[in-house]
Structure 1
């Protein structure tokens, strides 16, 4: 060995001895900084320092400094450890940068679970093949030949499994749905929560998990409720008596649909008479939703609000055709009688000074109505349609704040009233009135209010003072 060769070996040894520790120290500083910043690549850097560098440094020392032969057992073992560490590092890197589920970071790439697992398998098999073929000098052609002969037996034994695997690849290529979509396969429907090489898992509206083999998916028609357009049309049916005018029924049911959270205002909910039955007209209600997981909740909310709207508008829903009822002296709501309404009006301080004749005239324009939780009796920016006295339940008064948020200003309970802007024709309401507990109210028509103002000046003055007081609340709430 010449002096030049000795010098080169010494320099290489010094580079390894000094360079690798400096590199490890630098990585340590980078790891600490990443931990403080909660960087997702912290674990990747830790693996490089703790698992990848030690076998690499040992291999370089054995090969370059101690001149160990490449086919020596020691060098092969150290080299194999390096490649195993590299497999672990690459898998960790893939797990950090790619995801088969919900994206945790905006920069992560989303892959179908089948492709994600295939990529991981290729990394492992590729590196293992290199280690066996190049480090341990294993003849891979013989192994491949044996696998080729055995593949026919495996294919026959695993027909269903291979069918599911091929169907899984076809699903990825065609992509008829993705994780998060709502689909219907045969009689089954639910939200796709996982797609893998063997099956698709969906969660139904009943929160049950159903596993559908990929092979079965290829044989069924697939309905995707959210592909391209998230809007989904819901159809419901309701019987209404022939006595009710269709135009009025359509308007009431459409207003109910527009008041339900989750029903899209565009396209406008559509209500049409669909069939003339023996004793009623069957109406079809069609509306669009975008969150299919809330389907049952939205339908239930619609039926609940429709019940109260039907009663307020005194629509008649007929009984089944073949059931006959004979009812004499049909019971009334005890608070819906003329005497009770008059008694309630007289008990209120606002009307206590009115004479019996005026109260009787007022009662003729008063009706008892009920509102469901979440319904709005009054909308801000619109004209009040009547004057309401709250008999039971609770109503929240709110307005839109300076930042566009809804701001609560008061809670009304039994004996309170609302709709006072009906006393000021042409002036819109500044507040929303939303039911927070099922409400029963007395509704007094505007014509009766106008008559009161014209013939009872003291009543008009008291009402004007109340309106000014409520306007002060609103001004204070805006501050």
Structure 2
């Protein structure tokens, strides 16, 4: 009598009884480790642990206890093996997808492969895997099937040559990848952003709707990828003034407004040229076509306010209902206590002051410049920023009732840049007029000196707070 450990089922059973728990324990720990690190491979390890390994154990046991002469039992084993083959195919496909594409570095060849080719490769692997499963498990003649599919594909390809040709051209376009999702294209004079690319067409958002362009049309025509212009994109627009406005004044105004836009690339110089009559064209460079819309919107809004301050007739309109004698006199009455003015003094000052308005985001004064006037804030809020290294730090705010440009009397450069937080209205008092008031009012000189000292302390505090915040992470690391 043969000992039980010499039976054919003994060692496979031992492998399942001991190996299965150990393998599941190892895979559980590996999956937990990958989940803690946020690795996508944890899902593949979970599939291996929860489905593939247990099914292998079931198949081993089923084969050992099955009577080889029982056709029903053989069919059961083949069904289990087929399910296992399906799971192995899923395991291999998902593993390859994560290893090759999900974790691909930006700019690598794996990241550049179009999704349509990945899908085709996945279909081929599935077909080969299924053929291998049916050949090994069911002894199916897959060679004849593939031969029939090859001949059928050839016949279908010849019959649909005219229809398949554009699709193939589109696939080659995708493989070449002259554009990506998010790129801006100029297709036949229509500009837009690519929002979807599939095997048949490209969807371009133009602002007036979605332009759906077949891949074959793009492959057989010329188009411009506006997002691959070396980091700079030129924005141009036309504006009109009155013919009475001096061209030099208009050109200077357009260049100043354009150069102050936050979207303009630093170091570039906007250009403005007369086009004849009241028309002018202004051009400036931004970082990509995606900033064109925001840059033009900001430019047009700031230009309206700047033209009114300069007394130029944008779009032929020279009127400004904001600048009136009544509003000027009311503003003088508001600031009179600050300047220690009497009624007669305010009347004498009226001819030399002026009202101005600024749009949200506009620069009222820049750091390093010597102001020629003091601006009293009548409405709105102004933020003072101090440049430090490569950033601008918020130092303080100037609200209605306060003023900026206080160093106009001392002829000192500004330590901060003043930017309107919202629409700001100011009363501009020239430094020459303030000099005369200060000579007869020592209290005003003392007040302005206090404001200058306060602003200096605010600048120093902002810089100190920023430096301390940068040092704090370094101390924590140690």
Which region of structure 1 is more displaced relative to structure 2, 175-184 or 126-135?
126-135
Give, in whole Å, the separation in 2 of the partners of 1:40 and 1:48: 14
Give, in whole Å, the separation in 2 of the partners of 1:470 and 1:49: 67
Query: How far does residue 187 in structure 1 lie from its aligned partner after superposition?
Result: 4.7
Corresponding position: 1:176 with 2:178? yes
Assess, with a 3 A threshold, how the Cα gap between structure 1 residues 245 and 97 changes in structure 2: closer, same or farther: farther
Query: How far does residue 96 in structure 1 lie from its aligned partner after superposition?
Result: 3.1
Assess, with a 3 A threshold, how the Cα gap between structure 1 residues 68 and 215 changes in structure 2: closer, same or farther: farther
Q: Which residue is equivalent to 1:307?
A: 304
Corresponding position: 1:84 with 2:69? no
Q: Are the aligned partners of 1:205 and 1:293 in contact in 2 as well (CA < 8 Å)?
A: no
Give, in whole Å, the separation in 1 of the partners of 2:28 and 2:103: 31
Q: Considering only aligned residues, what root-mean-square deviation do their CA atoms show, in Å?
A: 3.7
Q: Which residue is equivalent to 2:420?
A: 435
Query: How far does residue 113 in structure 1 lie from its aligned partner after superposition?
Result: 1.2
3-state DSSP of counterpart to 2:254 = helix
3-state DSSP of counterpart to 2:381 = strand
Q: Which residue is equivalent to 1:125?
A: 127
For residue 336 of structure 1, the aligned residue among 314, 324, 339 is 324
Give, in whole Å, the separation in 2 of the partners of 1:44 and 1:302: 53
Q: Are the aligned partners of 1:165 and 1:198 in contact in 2 as well (CA < 8 Å)?
A: yes
Return the TM-score normalized by structure 1: 0.82
Q: CA offsets per residue over residues 255-284 of structure 1, 9 Å max, x none? A: 2112222222343222222x222xx3x221
Q: Which residue is equivalent to 1:327?
A: none
Q: Are the aligned partners of 2:395 and 2:458 in contact in 1 as well (CA < 8 Å)?
A: no
Q: CA offsets per residue over residues 272-330 of structure 1, 9 Å max, x none? A: 22x222xx3x221111222433422221110000111111111134649xxxxxxxxx9
Q: Which residue is equivalent to 2:281?
A: 284
Assess, with a 3 A threshold, how the Cα gap between structure 1 residues 234 and 147 changes in structure 2: closer, same or farther: same
Q: Which residue is equivalent to 2:52?
A: 52
Q: Which residue is equivalent to 2:350?
A: 363
3-state DSSP of counterpart to 2:263 = coil
Q: CA offsets per residue over residues 350-405 of structure 1, 9 Å max, x none? A: 3343573x545543332222211111112233222321122333323343579955
- Aligned pairs for 1:184-203 within 5 A: 184-203=186-205
Give, in whole Å, the separation in 1 of the partners of 2:13 and 2:220: 65
Corresponding position: 1:217 with 2:225? no
Which region of structure 1 is more displaced relative to structure 2, 247-256 or 460-469?
460-469
Query: How far does residue 334 in structure 1 lie from its aligned partner after superposition?
Result: 6.8
Query: How far does residue 422 in structure 1 lie from its aligned partner after superposition?
Result: 0.5
Q: Which residue is equivalent to 1:396?
A: 383
Corresponding position: 1:460 with 2:462? no
Q: CA offsets per residue over residues 148-194 of structure 1, 9 Å max, x none? A: 44335533665576234312321133221122211122354322233
Q: Are the aligned partners of 2:238 and 2:280 in contact in 1 as well (CA < 8 Å)?
A: yes
Q: Which residue is equivalent to 2:337?
A: 349
Assess, with a 3 A threshold, how the Cα gap between structure 1 residues 86 and 228 changes in structure 2: closer, same or farther: farther
Name whichever structure is richer in helix by fraction.
Answer: 2
Assess, with a 3 A threshold, how the Cα gap between structure 1 residues 375 and 119 changes in structure 2: closer, same or farther: same
Return the TM-score normalized by structure 2: 0.82
Give, in whole Å, the separation in 2 of the partners of 1:285 and 1:335: 28
Q: Are the aligned partners of 1:378 and 1:432 in contact in 2 as well (CA < 8 Å)?
A: yes
Q: Are the aligned partners of 1:244 and 1:315 in contact in 2 as well (CA < 8 Å)?
A: yes
Q: Which residue is equivalent to 2:258?
A: 257
Q: Which residue is equivalent to 1:29?
A: 29
